[in-house]
């Protein structure tokens, strides 16, 4: 990897935990244009492949008694479907394919990013900001289309004393617009931090005395990251459902 090369060049203990997030063109050149195929493109494509393998190839037999691979697809379907139904309500079910797309992409990208030498697409704000903004815009548009001006009732806490309501409305508005920020930074931040920590521990493995401890630490950290990979996909999805519920039923 790039970090080891740097370490050898400069000598001593040098960490480049962020080098793994560099975006490099795959087929020569060092200019990243709009359509350049980069390592990010490759791992996004692999995420598509993973989703197709899980949801389409796995279920190709349409068995009444499911095979293992079909069970995985059905499990993912049931997991997200139940989440949408329980959190966002029955009338949110028509957004299920949309939410399923977000979940499947994030969970696939997160797990693919955990493979050694791979590239974690969800560690980039460019990716998570687009995902979060897509949710934010969808929710806002759906809110106004469904409820018209009544959607603004989301910011007007009618259960609070009248004097407090303007202040609460201000807080609600701010929190509403902070949503996409927290939504995107939470995902990218978690993935990026985990990968960077792994890299730092890996850097320590260069010292012979510390290396056993370093390997143990990497193992433990990796286990944690596996958990984080799923939990962050889950959190992103369930927050999407919560926001969607606000849009469909804005009354507090």
Partner 1 sequence: MASTSTDATSHAAEAASAPGMPQLDFSNWGNQIFWLLITLVVIYFVLSRIALPRIAAVLAERQGTITNDIAAAEELKAKAVEAEEAYNKALADAKVEAARIVAEAKAEIQAELNVATQKADAEIAAKAAESEKAIATIRSGALASIKDVANATTAELVSALSGKADDADVAKAVDAQMKG
Cβ neighbours of residue 151 closer than 8 Å, sequence gap 6 or more:
143, 144, 247, 250
Q: Tell me which stretch binds partner 1 (CB under 8 A): 17-25, 161-169, 210-218, 238-246.
A: 17-25
Q: Are 73 and 51 in contact (CB under 8 A)?
A: no
| Residue 167: C-alpha distances to residues 156, 170, 246 (Å) | 10, 5, 20
Listed residue (34, 29, 76) closest to 56, CA to CA: 76
Taking the complex as a whole, the smallest distance from the CB of residue 72 to partner 1 amounts, in Å, to 11
* 67: contact with partner 1 by CB under 8 A: no
Q: Tell me which stretch binds partner 1 (CB under 8 A): 23-31, 203-211, 226-234, 244-252.
A: 23-31
Binding characters for partner 1, 138-177, by CB under 8 A (x = yes): ----------------------------------------
* 48: contact with partner 1 by CB under 8 A: yes
Burial profile 176-185: b = 16 or more Cβ within 10 angstroms, e = fewer: beebbeebbe
Position among 62, 148, 162, 208 found at the interface with partner 1 (CB under 8 A): 62
* Minimum CB distance to partner 1 smaller for 13 or for 174: 13
Q: For residues 34 and 160, what is the distance between their CA atoms, to the nearest angstrom?
A: 50
Listed residue (164, 189, 195, 139) closest to 16, CA to CA: 195
Decide: helix, strand or coil at residue 38: strand
Taking the complex as a whole, the smallest distance from the CB of residue 230 to partner 1 amounts, in Å, to 18
Binding residues vs partner 1 (CB under 8 A): 2, 16, 18-19, 21-24, 30-36, 38, 40-41, 44-45, 47-48, 51-52, 55-56, 59, 62-64, 66, 70, 73-74, 77-78, 96-98, 100-102, 104-105, 121, 123-127, 130-131, 134, 188, 192
């Amino acid at each position: 990897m790039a970090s080891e090369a740097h370490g050898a060049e400069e000598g001593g203990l040098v960490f480049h935990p962020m080098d793994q997030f560099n975006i490099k063109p795959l087929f020569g050149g060092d200019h990243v244009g709009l359509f350049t195929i980069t390592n990010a493109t490759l791992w996004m494509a692999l995420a598509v492949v993973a989703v197709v393998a899980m949801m389409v190839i796995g279920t190709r037999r349409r068995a009444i008694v499911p095979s293992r691979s079909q069970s995985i697809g059905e499990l993912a379907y049931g997991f997200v479907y139940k989440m949408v139904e329980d959190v966002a309500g029955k009338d949110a079910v028509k957004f299920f394919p949309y939410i399923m797309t977000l979940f499947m992409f994030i969970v696939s990208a997160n797990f693919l990013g955990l493979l050694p030498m791979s590239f974690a697409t969800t560690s980039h704000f460019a990716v998570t900001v687009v995902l979060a903004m897509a949710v934010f815009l969808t929710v806002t548009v759906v809110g106004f289309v469904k409820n018209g001006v009544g959607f603004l009732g989301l910011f007007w806490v009618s259960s609070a004393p009248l004097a407090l309501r303007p202040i609460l409305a201000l807080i609600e508005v701010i929190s509403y617009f902070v949503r996409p920020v927290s939504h995107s930074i939470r995902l990218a931040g978690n993935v990026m931090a985990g990968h960077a920590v792994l890299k730092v521990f890996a850097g320590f493995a260069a010292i012979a005395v510390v290396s056993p401890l370093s390997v143990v630490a990497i193992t433990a950290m990796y286990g944690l990251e596996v958990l984080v990979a799923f939990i962050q996909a889950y959190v992103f999805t369930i927050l999407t459902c919560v926001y969607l519920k606000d849009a469909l039923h804005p009354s507090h």
